[in-house]
Structure 1
């Protein structure tokens, strides 16, 4: 039995294009894999610890092999708990809207918690940076109001998919599959969502 973690980063519920397409993916995935455990992590409901000064100091203590204060230990343990939960999954689905050409701040907060030395990546002078989350596939479902595909003339504004791919590649992912729902602010929104839904349903049955 595998565990699939769906990381949901839109606050719009059933009005969200990314969530509606992700739901179709999960429906066909569960039909094809009835024994698997599927969990949705709603980042707007999750209790994410603040990444404040104490947490930053705790991170650098780990990075430099130094001892931590009692406060830093507590702050670091909260980070480890989030990272361990993430790493417990075997497969991932990430659904997100584009906000100001990038990603929602709740997702950035989650990523800032995950991107920690010894948890999701390592560093040595000899090898440099090395991702520690390996052998796990990821499907990313992006919703965007405009069209940002290559050839549209707006691809340079896409700091959404570029950032997501770079981060997950950094922590060790090599199997990253993408589904785009765009343009959701045009008269053809319904057609765009339907087409992405079909692609998601097919992908879910084979994931």
Structure 2
């Protein structure tokens, strides 16, 4: 059964990114009822801290050293999460923008899965090489300001370029971004941004 992995990155069930994800998944489910939807709520699932034995394991692997028992166990946790990602045929990431970038839980997820031998390798002649196959990946990014049209009041979107580069580093090139903003301020611009994003997501779901 083909699988869509949904990385849910907002701690609020009623957030704009969560609501938009539901719109997309409802339409996707109707279009492709035979697909398995694997939801990974980054605020409810246990992510290993990128410290201690896991950090040591990364450098042991880079330097060609054998793991200790503790390093082996911690790296196995990262491997399970990376494999869950690598086995997905489609990926949906729904996230808010926090302080111009991504929530720390999503950053922690990237720190856990971007591991040598799991999602990338290093070749002395070619440099860093991705290990994952490309697959369609949709990012829903909700922000307080309207970064899509430039009405961002002088603030910088650092979330989009980070997500593009982190995904590309692992092998994901087929990326689509649907921004939602503004999500704060006067009611009417928020309503228009929400409706436009929801309409676009419903249309995209059938062919995703």
TM-score bracket, shorter-length normalisation = over 0.9
Using the TM superposition, give the Cα deviation of residue 145 of structure 1 relative to its aligned residue in structure 2, in angstroms.
0.3
3-state SS in 1 of match to 2:45:
coil
Structure 2 residue 79 is matched with structure 1 residue 71:
no
- Map 1:159-198 onto structure 2 (within 5 A): 159-187=158-186, 188-198=189-199
Kept after mapping to 2: 8 A contact 1:134/1:174: no
Using the TM superposition, give the Cα deviation of residue 156 of structure 1 relative to its aligned residue in structure 2, in angstroms.
6.0
Unaligned runs of 5+ in 2: none
Cα distance in 1 between the residues matched to 2:154 and 2:4 = 31
Q: Which deviates the most, 32-41 or 153-162? A: 153-162
Structure 2 residue 125 is matched with structure 1 residue 118:
no
The equivalent of 1:199 in structure 2 is: 200
**What do you get for the CA RMSD once the two structures are aligned?**
1.4
Using the TM superposition, give the Cα deviation of residue 64 of structure 1 relative to its aligned residue in structure 2, in angstroms.
1.5
Kept after mapping to 2: 8 A contact 1:149/1:155: no
Kept after mapping to 1: 8 A contact 2:78/2:113: yes
Using the TM superposition, give the Cα deviation of residue 53 of structure 1 relative to its aligned residue in structure 2, in angstroms.
2.2
3-state SS in 2 of match to 1:148:
coil
Cα distance in 1 between the residues matched to 2:161 and 2:173 = 14
User: Residues 52 and 100 (structure 1 numbering): CA distance in 2 closer, same or farther, change over 3 Å?
Assistant: same
- Map 1:11-26 onto structure 2 (within 5 A): 11-13=11-13, 15-26=14-25
Structure 2 length as normaliser, TM-score?
0.95
Structure 1 length as normaliser, TM-score?
0.95
Using the TM superposition, give the Cα deviation of residue 144 of structure 1 relative to its aligned residue in structure 2, in angstroms.
0.2
Using the TM superposition, give the Cα deviation of residue 149 of structure 1 relative to its aligned residue in structure 2, in angstroms.
2.7
Using the TM superposition, give the Cα deviation of residue 150 of structure 1 relative to its aligned residue in structure 2, in angstroms.
5.8
Unaligned runs of 5+ in 1: none
| Displacement over 6 Å in runs of 4+ | none
The equivalent of 1:4 in structure 2 is: 4
Q: Which deviates the most, 186-195 or 15-24? A: 186-195
Using the TM superposition, give the Cα deviation of residue 82 of structure 1 relative to its aligned residue in structure 2, in angstroms.
1.1
Using the TM superposition, give the Cα deviation of residue 154 of structure 1 relative to its aligned residue in structure 2, in angstroms.
5.3
- Size of the aligned set, in residue pairs, is 206
3-state SS in 2 of match to 1:157:
coil
The equivalent of 2:91 in structure 1 is: 92
Q: Which deviates the most, 52-61 or 146-155? A: 146-155
User: Residues 106 and 126 (structure 1 numbering): CA distance in 2 closer, same or farther, change over 3 Å?
Assistant: same
**Partner deviation per Cα, 1:116-154 (whole Å, 9 max, x = no partner):** 011011111111111111221100000000122364465
Using the TM superposition, give the Cα deviation of residue 194 of structure 1 relative to its aligned residue in structure 2, in angstroms.
1.2
